[in-house]
Every structure is written in C-alpha cells, then in structure tokens.
Amino acid sequence: MIENKCNVSQLQVERSKFKPVLPKVLKNGLSGTIVIKGKPKKSVADQEKIKELFKNTYGLPIVTFKKGKNKTLKKKIIKVAVVFSGGQAPGGHNVIAGLFDVLKKANKKNVLIGYLRGPSGILNNKYQEIIENVLCDYRNTGGFDYIQSGRTKIETPEQFCLTKDNLSICNVDALVVVGGDDSNTNAAMIAEYLKTENLDKCVIGIPKTIDGDLKNKYIETSFGFDTATKIYSELVGNICRDANSARKYWHFVRLMGRRASHITLEVGFKTQPNIVLIGEEILAKNMTLSKVVDSIVEVIVKRSEMGKDFGIILVPEGVIEFIPEIKELISALNDILAEDKSEFSKLSSIDDKKQFVCKKLSTKLATLISELPIGIASQLMSERDPHGNVVVSLIETEKLLIEMICKKLSELKKKDKYHGKFASITHFFGYEGRCGMPSNFDANYTYALGFNAAMLLLNGFSGYMPYIKNLIKPAKDWECGGLPLTMMMNIEKRNGKEKPVIQKALVDLKGKPFKKFVKNRDKWAINENYLFPGPIQYFGPKNITDMTTKTLQYEHTQK
C-alpha cells in the first residue's frame, strides 16, 4: 500500500481553492449531453497493416459532444480504473479529479481506483480506491505521486491475458490510461485484445507528454507542455540575464524532447536566445554533425567580432537522432542490440563494445562511431528503454558540440580568422519541469480531459482518446469529443521489428510557428533580444496568468 500523505505548502493551500473552468458543453451534465458520431476514420498511414492488427477497433468514427437529451447513457453502477504510464507531466492529478467528479455525479456508488506505480500495478493487481478526503490534497498539484507511475509495457500474450484476468477479478468496467504516444498505443492494443475476448470493458487513453509530440488536428497539445515550457523558460530567461550581465560565457542549454523539438522551439519563443537548434530542420536539410557545428561557429565568430564572446544556445535532447548520419548509426545499433542483446550484455569495457558493434556495422558507420568521443559512443550503445528507444536524456549532446566547436575555433585561430575567447557552461533542464504545479491552462485542460474521458466511457466508447479543441479560446468555449486511437497509428521499427505505434507529431517546418521562428532567428543571433518571462504566475492579470503557449497562438493566427 502506498502512503497517501501529501505535504501541503502555503502555496498549495491557496492553489487548492482554484476551481477548474469546464467547457460549456461538459457543464450540461451527462443527461444533457449527446454524442454525435462522424464518419469512420482510417489510420494516418499503413492502413492495411493497422486494419489487420486492429480488426475490432479500426475504422471507428470521431465523436463530438453537443447539448441535448442523452437517452443512451449507461446508468448502472460502474468501477473505473486509472493508471499513469511513462514520465510525469504537470496536471495528472486533475485528470483523476475530473474522472472522479463526473463518476460521482453520475452515481455516488460509482468507484474509481488507481493502479499503483504504472502498468506494473495492473499486472501485479496492486491498486487503491480514490477517495475524496485524500484526493482533495492533490487537486491542482504537479506530479503523479498519488498513485505514481511506471514504464512497464504490456505487450506479451501472457501480459495481455493477465491484464484481462486482473480487470475481471476487480470487476473493472473501464480502464483509463494516462500516457504519451507509446502508452496510448498500449491502451489501443489492450482495447483491441479485450474486444477480441468479447469482454464489455472500455479503454480510454489520455494525451500526456511534456514533449508536445502527441498532437494532431484534434489533439492541439498534450497536457503538461504548457507548464513545463513555462518552467524551462523561467530558467533559461534567468541564464539569459546572467549571460547579459557577465558577458563571458556561452551557455549550452539542453532541453527535454526525445523525438521532437517542440519544447526547444517554445522556450525559444519565450526567451529569444542567440541560437535555437531544431532537429527537424537539421534532418530536412540533411546536415552532418560537422555542418551543425559550422552553423554555430559562424554565429560565435560574428558575435566575437562585435566584442560579444557570450551567448545562449538551446539544444533539444533528441537532436542527435535528427542528424542523418547519427540517425542511421542509432538505427543500426538498435538492430544489433536487439539481435545480439545477450552476447553484447556480457561485454564490460567500452572498447570491447565498440569492437563488437564495429564488426557488424558498415564501414561508414564503423568509422563514425570510432571517431566520436568515447563518452558519446558509450551513451549511444547504452541499454534501450522498454520501447526500444535510445535514452537520449543520457546523451550529453551539448558536450559533443562544445568539443567540436573548440576544435573548429582553434583551427580558425591558426588561420587568423578568429581572435575571441570561447568559454562554455552546460545545463540540462528535464526533470525540473515534469512535476511543477500546473499552470491555469493545464489545470483547466487536465480536469476537462478527465471529465471528457468519463463521458466517453459512460457512453460505452472504447479505444478512444478524449479531445479538446480551440484551446486558444477561454476554457468555457473549448470544444470536446473523442477520436479513435487507431486513427493516429502507423508502423515503425522497434527492437528490430515492425510495430504499430501512434505517429509522433514533429515540428512542422511549413507551419506558422516555425516560419515565425525563421523570421526572427537572424536578429536573435546577433543582438541581445533576450526575454525574461519569470515564474508561472497564478495570481495577477488574466492576460498573464491564463495566456497559452506561443506555439498555439501562432498556429491559430490567420496569416
């Protein structure tokens, strides 16, 4: 049993008084809201393969909530389970609160339980009931500590069978999975399996990830992105002010974002540093590691000629995977580590590991890994996460860039083309942003997502994700509904095998936010246009406390 004590700060006491604003359509209540079905939807790619894998849950319609008398609502007493899967994101507790409140409004005898420590709680049948006198201390708070999270993946036939059995033993009528793209892929697979087994149990996925890469036309942003980018922006803004004060260091700031650069772009908008690396652009331009370094050195030299031997560089943690030659190397290493895992795990020294993989790599890739600094090579060969991904948070890309920049500047000095001083400081902001108290936006958004999820499952929908649209507007004007999880899927190679996964949303190089960035970056590079956004503010003018991300604002502009 998990200890449910929540240490309450003075700020948290005040924060508990915050009442999330519900979209008008959800305020109509269960009996006053009807669900309108649209046309069946195909997956975003690999339609035939996805259809074959999801025979029971493929081709479902998008649904929309509208005001009206609901005559099909299930009124029986039900038990719902919620589980956090993957990394933390601000607002998770409000998802639970939204679920809890609407279930109790539907019937006071309805029960909400939380599986403990992630999906492993489902497999181990470890859970506890969510009760109001405990939940009240967690409303509008950060973290997932009420029931905790985990990264266990349910993927084997035995695990699916155990999941079915444990849900049945506990008489669970619906399972709500709060997670990112991989976790929601898992939710889709559980929903399909339960349908195959002819079990009348609903599975709903909630879009959670601070990385911002779980999005589409309907899921405009995943929860936690707003809060995390505000926290990171405060920290980067402080560094910008320090750099402008001391004027003697180049600060390399690595930010979270495993497979997409949304966080880095948003923090760039909020702080306007000198250089912002966008992985998607590097890939599109087919830039080598050397070319990336050259582009940074060019700015360093220009600023030095102006007497400015200082600056700020933002680096997405996953940028190394976007560099085509490194991307190809990682893909090859993934296959080797998947196929020869037991043999590779017996090797202890880095040199032995490098020799082992070099024998299996092409000449080009073997040369590349041999030329990389020993620390970076070691990190690239490190153990993969449960989903088969390289753990990019452990790869210190900023140090690799600094090492190569120093070498390039040294060469320029010898040619009398650089006369400045280059001193660097590195930072990595990741865990600092994952459990912050949710912003007003995320507090409203997550509560509405939980409320929305309950509406879907109470109406008998399974294999769905709640969506909330028009997020640029006040919360009361948001639009709500649900979309099938299979609609977002494609096929990707994981651990050497083809797997169905929810397609990641990368930074759109043709989109309005990126175009806005391109329009301003040359000015940011040379001048000190730094912004200092400060901490998240809960109290003050509403245009400050309730403002949305720059990314959403630019996406919704008309021009």
DSSP assignment of 111-178 equals EEEEETTTHHHHHHT-EEE--HHHHTTTTT--SSTTT-EE-----SHHHHHHHHHHHHHTT--EEEEE
CA-CA-CA-CA torsion for 250, 251, 252, 253, nearest 10 degrees? -160
Radius of gyration of the chain (CA): 24
Range 517-522, long-range pairs (CB < 8 A, 24+ positions):
517/265, 517/268, 517/269, 517/276, 517/278, 520/272, 521/275, 521/276
If 0-12 CB within 10 Å is exposed, 13-18 middle and 19+ buried, where does residue 177 land? Answer: buried
Secondary structure (3-state) at 222:
coil
* Cα 502 from Cα 464, distance rounded (Å): 13
Among 145, 211, 213, 226, the one annotated catalytic: 211
* Cα 506 from Cα 321, distance rounded (Å): 13
**Which token pair is 184?**
């929601």
Which residues, 6+ apart, have CB-to-CB distance to 99 below 8 Å?
A: 80, 82, 112, 176, 450, 451, 453, 454
What phi and psi, each to the nearest 5 degrees, are found at residue 472? -75, -20
Active site residue 211: yes
- Reference 278, options 511, 509, 432; nearest CA is 509
The residues annotated with a catalytic role in the active site are 211
